[in-house]
Amino acid sequence: MMAKAKLDQPFTMVPNVCFDTYMKEMTANEFQTYMFVIRKTMGWHKSSDKISLSQFKKNINSSTPTIRKAIKGLRKKGFIKQIPSGRSYRYSIIKPSINFKTVKQHGSNGEKNLQGNGKESYSKPCKNLSTQNKTQKKKLNINMSERTKFRNEVSDNEVLSIIDEWNNRFNGKINREDPHWLELIGEVLCYFSKDELKQAMENRPNVDMYQERYRHLLHRPESFFGWLETIENDLTWTPSNIYDYKGMTSIVTDYSNPYTQDDFKERIDLRDENGHAKWELVAKATAH
């Protein structure tokens, strides 16, 4: 009897229809871009992921115009969804439709190896939330339908780096040796990557509600790490004074507004869904 062959490499499961049908409907650049979005989402058991243009360029090895054209083509053909997320965009797969709620999360070595080069050791297991007592459940609010776990264990170094990132930015300090915070942040890192948490922390001081009604919550770590929905909101926040070109011209041509185009600054670091630079209203409102 022949021995059963085993895969010795981690892999991303891709539905056959992507190769049998969809590949024929795409250009070569579109298919390459499509596969990368699948790798970043389905490959991590995530319904969506924030992907920067630099990530596309690094992994696909194509020029910026080529990548933008491929993304635009995939959106037009209904294969992917692209929504603004801070200075970048969040991507998800539309076709084929995947029910992420039914995906089981396993702690196998193959899944761990999907992160980095596979050499990272994990020591912070994400507990089964359904078996936690009421006190533990209060530590982390998980009432989010779109945010699901993408891994089951987190390294100590990742947890400590997030604590250091928070302590460098905010007045409410976290003790690096407090088991409560080590456990809670380890749990959060099962839902958000380290880069996502850093981006959310970077956005946080500029979120309107912290500047106005909820200023007292800005520096409180429990108001951030204790609520996945808060982290998601901070991560995807877009300033209220940022407009696409159409929005900017609408304001400028509205005679009831005191602004001209000189009151706006072009933000080449922020792009709309078509890849065009957005505009920041830098002038303060004046009486008129």
Express as a percent the part of the chain with pLDDT over 70.
76
Q: Domains of the chain (ranges plus CATH)?
A: 17-93 (1.10.10.10), 125-236 (no CATH), 242-281 (no CATH)
Q: What is the mean pLDDT of the chain?
A: 79
What are the backbone dihedrals phi and psi of residue 90, each rounded to the nearest 5 degrees, phi first?
-105, 135
- pLDDT, tens digit (0-9, with 9 covering 90-100), for 197-223: 998 998 888 777 787 778 889 999 999
Q: How confident is the model at residue 104 (pLDDT cuts 50, 70, 90)?
A: very low
pLDDT of residue 32: 96
Q: How far apart are CA 194 and CA 198, in angstroms?
A: 6
- pLDDT, tens digit (0-9, with 9 covering 90-100), for 223-275: 999 988 889 888 877 666 778 888 888 888 887 778 888 999 898 766 776 77
- pLDDT, tens digit (0-9, with 9 covering 90-100), for 82-91: 888 777 789 9
Helices and strands: H and E segment counts in the chain: 13, 8
DSSP codes of every residue in 218-248: TT-THHHHTBHHHHHHHHH---TTEE-HHHH
For the chain, give the number of residues.
Answer: 288
pTM of the model: 0.43
Q: Which of 38-42, 106-110, 144-148, 183-187 is least confident?
A: 106-110
Q: How far apart are CA 55 and CA 64, in angstroms?
A: 11
Residue 42 DSSP symbol: G
Q: How far apart are CA 237 and CA 207, in angstroms?
A: 7
